[in-house]
Amino acid sequence: MTQLRIGEAAQLLGVSDDTVRRWAAAGRVPTQVAPDGRQVVDGRDLAALALTLAAEPGQPAALGSARNRLRGIVTRVLTDTVMAQVEMQAGPYRLVSLMSREAVDELGLAPGVVTDAVVKATQVIVEIPARR
């Protein structure tokens, strides 16, 4: 059984620690007290909450077959005459996209622009992160 500290749970859901604490106080996600006295969330309970959050209505998304969307901010744009490299930060994740310079110009991509990264891959590697 994986137990996650409130901060870890918040980071995985993309919300603040206070939001997870409010949800716990409201009974939206059960918590326990770990042997060290910290409040923790069981990984299965957090996964169930994540599914309900994903199902909640939000901003309408563009229609398409990709399901992996990450909201972020452009941090760097490198261009040449034909191609461009766009870097963005989406929470703790740095994403890099290669696209045409024409697309960068049409979208007005520049550092500070809020974007959505849409990821569709035929292969996804899943790893267990090292515990700190």
Amino acid letter at 42?
Answer: D
CA dist., res. 50 & res. 109, Å (int): 30
Q: CATH fold of 68-119, please?
A: OB fold (Dihydrolipoamide Acetyltransferase, E2P) (2.40.50)
127 versus 81: which is more confidently predicted? 81
The secondary structure of 59-90 as a DSSP string is SPPPPSS--EEEEEEEEEEEE-SSEEEEEEEE
Indicate the average pLDDT of the chain.
86
Backbone phi, psi, residue 57, to 5°: -65, 140
Sequence ranges of the domains in the chain: 3-55, 68-119
The pLDDT score that the predictor gives to residue 75 is 93
The CA distance from 25 to 74, in Å, is 35
The end-to-end CA distance of the chain, in Å, is: 18
- Lowest mean pLDDT, pick from 37-41, 51-55, 107-111: 51-55
**What class, spelled out in words, does domain 3-55 have in CATH?**
mainly alpha
pLDDT tens-digit map of 41-81: 998 898 888 888 776 665 555 566 667 788 888 999 999 99
In angstroms, the CA 29 to CA 42 distance is 9
pLDDT band at residue 93, thresholds of 50, 70 and 90? confident
Report percent pLDDT > 70 for the chain: 89
Residue 64, pLDDT score: 67
Average pLDDT over residues 106-111: 94
For the whole model, what pTM was predicted?
A: 0.57
